[in-house]
Structure 1
Amino acid sequence: MKILIARMNHETNTFSPVATPLAAFGCNGPNHGEDALNENKGMQTAMAAFIDAAEREHAGIVTPISASANPSGPVEAAAYDAICDAIVAAATGCDAVMLDLHGAMVAENSNDGEGDLLERVRAALPNAPIAVALDLHGNVTQKMIDNADVIVSFKTYPHVDMYETGAHAARLLFDLIHGKAKPLIAWRQPPLLTHTLRSATAEGAMKRAVEAARAAEADGMLAVSVLSGFSLADIEAPCISVVVVSNGEREQAEAVAERIARQIWNDREDFVYRSAPLAESVAQAAALAHGADKPVLLLDHGDNCMSGGTCDTMDLLEEALKQKLEGIVSGPLCDPQAVAALMAAGVGSTVTVTIGNKVASSAVIPRPPVAVTGVVRALTDGEYVISGPTYTGQRAFMGRAAVLDTGTVKLVMTERTHEPWDLGVFESVGIDPRRARFLLLKSRMYCRPVFVPIAAALVECDSRGVTSSDYGLFKFEHVKRPVFPLDAQTEWAPTNEAS
């Protein structure tokens, strides 16, 4: 048996001005062949689980590509074609396919990145079973449903079950191959744009939906996935979905999908996040710091690179300085020009540079860069190894990194947008984040498993960036209307088809 295993991960924010060329995938482009296998082998990705499952079956493994990029703007057409072409070209002679996909890719030449890829793979291998692992924030389409035999998504956010999801999908694929199961997919998609901050699986309506999915699996369904969708994509339906895989039982699968989708629709208000004014959030953080012996986290979720943020909006830092907060550690701020200036000046130099607010976007009002003066404390290559629990063991690349110390704030600046997955973001440049009074992180959720344990409190701060929770900032032109919460009076009646 010969199995095609590949990874194509990108969550596309169509409002983001951050470009997505082929070089954005990986350190400087995707890995191919043996390098693609080695990049995932032993890691906590779905592709790693696929590899392990195929090896247990003593199957031949073909790994044409592993391509993963931080969320950003639409994928350049040449990059999308290169990734898809590599996967399709490798399909010849394969007996089965396992794909580690995100589910919310939009390219310059495709509004349905995963669906169009799966359609091509199915055309190349019409009789081969295809299993797909998806991110919880995938935007499911009919084309994806039509061209896969097994679909399973993450059940955690922050995502700490990527490997487990791949293992689940692989198990169902091999059960199909060995005649132990006949996977059949049903799905529903209510017209609901969820907020990412309401898709955390440890609380609220999303927790209840995932619990319902797990209960349905315990009651006999092969897999039940709740995908909250990624709403900052101006496509037809960037909405929440329920995907059910049954063992050949169409009626039961449809009933489960409909029941959970109806539960979600009844809970729709709980999937909406309404931000406090930024000044109010910073004042709250200041109050929480009184008497605290640990840092207070201020999460700048309006400029979060893991949703396509530029990582260069200065709203939160400016407000913190305006309210005279001290003992601040902030970052990573993406500003290649400032990094270059600090590199040229050298460690120990006192410099004045303009930082941030340099990447223009149609979604936010332009603001001038901010001039700051400080001492260059560190200059590094910006690389470190993630300690976990997300992407454990993988090497992270921030581009070159520099630390500017103004006396009030230690600012970590990088050449690339970067999520603070790990204390290594700061420790790799000589900063102990535990010693800060305030930690200003450009993050929404992924920092929490690592930074919450070292913090006294957490405050969510919504800057006017391209990942803001204020949908009023964004001009949705292609989303099918009506849709909640853009249209408050939206109604929905489940049917036997997704709607």
Structure 2
Amino acid sequence: MKILIARMNHETNTFSPVATPLAAFGRNGPSYGEDAFNENEGMQTAMAAFIDAAAREHAAIVTPISASANPSGPVQASAYDAISDAIVAAATGCDAVMLDLHGAMVAENSNDGEGDLLERVRAALPNAPIAVALDLHGNVTQKMIDNADVIVSFKTYPHVDMYETGAHAARLIFDLIHGKAKPVIAWRQPPLLAHTLRSATAEGAMKRAVEAARAAEADGMLAVSVLSGFSLADIASPCISVVVVANGERAQAEAVAERIARQIWREREDFVYRSEPLAESVAQAAALAQGADKPVLLLDHGDNCMSGGTCDTMDLLEEALRQKLEGVVSGPLCDPQAVAALMAAGVGSKVTVTIGNKVTSRAVTPKPPVAVTGVVRALTDGEYVISGPTYTGQRAFMGRAAVLDTGTVKLVMTERTHEPWDLGVFESVGIDPRRARFLLLKSRMYCRPVFVPIAAALVECDSRGVTSSDYGLFRFKHMKRPVFPLDTQTEWALTN
């Protein structure tokens, strides 16, 4: 067998002003051919699982591209075409296809990045089985359903089962190839915008939905996925989905999808997150720090790069300073201009720079940068290795990084937006985050497996950035209405 294996990952926030050129996919663009293979082999990606499964089958493996970028604005048309063209061009002569996709890509020339790609792959290989691994936050579309034989998504958020998801999808596609299974797919999509902070799989309605999916798999379904969707995409239906793969029994697949979708719709209020005013959140953090011997985490989920944030919104830091919090470590703040100024000044220099609020969006009211004075404590290349549990062993690139110490706050500034996956974000620039009194992290969820164990408490803070949980900040033009919770009287009649 000759098997095509590729990776195309991007979660698109159509309100984000952060550009997504081809260079954003990887350190300086995607990896191709042998480099794409080597980048994933032994890692915890779905593509790595595909490679391992194909190797066990003694298949010839074709890896045209591995392209993964942090969430940001719409993918530039030339970048989307380059990635898609590389995958489609490699399809000739292949007997099967396994794709590691996100599921929520929007490009300048495609509102359905994954669906349009799958349609092209299917046209190139009309008789080859196609398996797809998706992120839990994928926005499922009809084109995706129509052009894949197997779809499996992550069941964890924070995501720690990327490899397992790929292994699951690969197992099913090889069962199809060897005549052991006949996958059929059913799909339901209630008109429900699930807040990302209500898609954590360890609690609430999302936990119960995933438990129902696992129970259905234990009861005979080949795969059951609950995808919360990514609602900051102004497309027709960035809504929650249930995707069921059954073994030849479409009626069974439809029944399971319907049952779990009904459960989700009944509990729709539990998928809605309502933020407290920022001042109240900071005051709560100050109270929690009294007598604590560990840092209090303040998570700035309104400016979270893993949902397309600019990482330069200053709302939370300004409020922390207004309330006179001390012992603060904050970051990573993306400000290439400030980093360049600190690099030019050198370690030990006392400087005044303006930081943040430099990347503006039509979705939020722009504010001026903030002037700060401090001593440059560290300058680095901004690279470190992630210790896990997410993307364990992968090298992280923040761009050049600098630390400015104002006496009250130690600011970690970087040239690139970056999720605090790991203590290495701070340790790589000489800061021990355990010694902070307050940790202001531009994060929503991925920091939690690493930072919650070293913290006394956690407070969620909603700054007015482009990843805010306040849907009222955003002007949706293309979304089908009515949709809950934008339209509170939304009704949904499930199909058979």
**Shift of residue 90, structure 1, vs aligned partner:** 0.2
**Shift of residue 354, structure 1, vs aligned partner:** 0.1
**Shift of residue 320, structure 1, vs aligned partner:** 0.3
Query: Residue by residue, what CA displacement relative to the aligned partner does 1:44-84 show, whole Å, maximum 9, x if unpaired?
Result: 00000000000000000000000000000000000000000
Cα distance in 2 for residues equivalent to 1:366 and 1:393: 38
Cα distance in 1 for residues equivalent to 2:9 and 2:99: 10
1:211-230 aligned within 5 A: 211-230=211-230
SS of 1:5's partner is strand
Cα distance in 2 for residues equivalent to 1:342 and 1:58: 53
Cα distance in 2 for residues equivalent to 1:41 and 1:434: 33
Q: Which runs of 5+ in 1 are unaligned?
A: none
Cα distance in 1 for residues equivalent to 2:391 and 2:66: 14
Q: What's the counterpart of residue 411 of structure 1?
A: 411
Give me the identity figure in percent.
93
Point out 4+ residue stretches in structure 1 off by more than 6 angstroms.
none
Cα distance in 2 for residues equivalent to 1:47 and 1:388: 18
**Shift of residue 225, structure 1, vs aligned partner:** 0.1
Q: Which runs of 5+ in 2 are unaligned?
A: none
SS of 2:452's partner is helix
Cα distance in 2 for residues equivalent to 1:493 and 1:168: 32
Cα distance in 2 for residues equivalent to 1:231 and 1:40: 29
Q: What's the counterpart of residue 334 of structure 2?
A: 334
**Shift of residue 183, structure 1, vs aligned partner:** 0.3
**Shift of residue 336, structure 1, vs aligned partner:** 0.3
Cα distance in 2 for residues equivalent to 1:415 and 1:29: 16
**Shift of residue 216, structure 1, vs aligned partner:** 0.3
SS of 2:376's partner is strand
**Shift of residue 316, structure 1, vs aligned partner:** 0.2
SS of 1:39's partner is helix
Cα distance in 1 for residues equivalent to 2:211 and 2:249: 21
**Shift of residue 255, structure 1, vs aligned partner:** 0.3
SS of 2:171's partner is helix
SS of 2:239's partner is coil
**Shift of residue 410, structure 1, vs aligned partner:** 0.2
Cα distance in 2 for residues equivalent to 1:180 and 1:113: 31
Cα distance in 2 for residues equivalent to 1:454 and 1:386: 17
**Shift of residue 367, structure 1, vs aligned partner:** 0.4
Cα distance in 2 for residues equivalent to 1:70 and 1:445: 14
Cα distance in 1 for residues equivalent to 2:461 and 2:360: 21
Cα distance in 2 for residues equivalent to 1:168 and 1:115: 21
1:37-186 aligned within 5 A: 37-186=37-186
Query: Residue by residue, what CA displacement relative to the aligned partner does 1:85-139 show, whole Å, maximum 9, x if unpaired?
Result: 0000000000000000000000000000000000000000000000000000000
SS of 2:329's partner is strand
**Shift of residue 238, structure 1, vs aligned partner:** 0.1
Query: Residue by residue, what CA displacement relative to the aligned partner does 1:434-481 show, whole Å, maximum 9, x if unpaired?
Result: 000000000000000000000000000000000000000000000000
Cα distance in 2 for residues equivalent to 1:34 and 1:428: 30
Cα distance in 2 for residues equivalent to 1:307 and 1:461: 15
TM-score, length-normalised on structure 2?
A: 1.00
SS of 1:363's partner is coil
SS of 1:443's partner is coil
Cα distance in 2 for residues equivalent to 1:38 and 1:437: 41
SS of 1:485's partner is coil
SS of 1:449's partner is helix
Query: Residue by residue, what CA displacement relative to the aligned partner does 1:329-379 show, whole Å, maximum 9, x if unpaired?
Result: 000000000000000000000000000000010011010000000000000
**Shift of residue 25, structure 1, vs aligned partner:** 0.2
Query: Residue by residue, what CA displacement relative to the aligned partner does 1:282-335 show, whole Å, maximum 9, x if unpaired?
Result: 000000000000000000000000000000000000000000000000000000
Query: Residue by residue, what CA displacement relative to the aligned partner does 1:242-297 show, whole Å, maximum 9, x if unpaired?
Result: 00000000111000000000000000000000000000000000000000000000
Cα distance in 2 for residues equivalent to 1:377 and 1:251: 64
Cα distance in 1 for residues equivalent to 2:249 and 2:457: 48
Cα distance in 2 for residues equivalent to 1:29 and 1:307: 20
Cα distance in 2 for residues equivalent to 1:250 and 1:315: 51
Cα distance in 1 for residues equivalent to 2:484 and 2:41: 41
**Shift of residue 493, structure 1, vs aligned partner:** 1.0
Q: What's the counterpart of residue 383 of structure 2?
A: 383
1:100-499 aligned within 5 A: 100-496=100-496
Cα distance in 2 for residues equivalent to 1:364 and 1:177: 50
Q: Greater shift after overlay, 487-496 or 398-407?
A: 487-496
Cα distance in 1 for residues equivalent to 2:278 and 2:50: 44
Query: Residue by residue, what CA displacement relative to the aligned partner does 1:400-427 show, whole Å, maximum 9, x if unpaired?
Result: 0000000000000000000000000000
Cα distance in 2 for residues equivalent to 1:102 and 1:266: 27
**Shift of residue 210, structure 1, vs aligned partner:** 0.1
Cα distance in 2 for residues equivalent to 1:165 and 1:405: 43
Cα distance in 2 for residues equivalent to 1:367 and 1:146: 45
CA-atom RMSD in angstroms: 0.3
SS of 2:434's partner is helix
SS of 1:373's partner is strand
Query: Residue by residue, what CA displacement relative to the aligned partner does 1:162-182 show, whole Å, maximum 9, x if unpaired?
Result: 000000000000000000000
Aligned length: 496
Query: Residue by residue, what CA displacement relative to the aligned partner does 1:142-169 show, whole Å, maximum 9, x if unpaired?
Result: 0000000000000000000000000000
Cα distance in 2 for residues equivalent to 1:77 and 1:233: 17
Cα distance in 2 for residues equivalent to 1:39 and 1:291: 46
Cα distance in 1 for residues equivalent to 2:163 and 2:288: 37
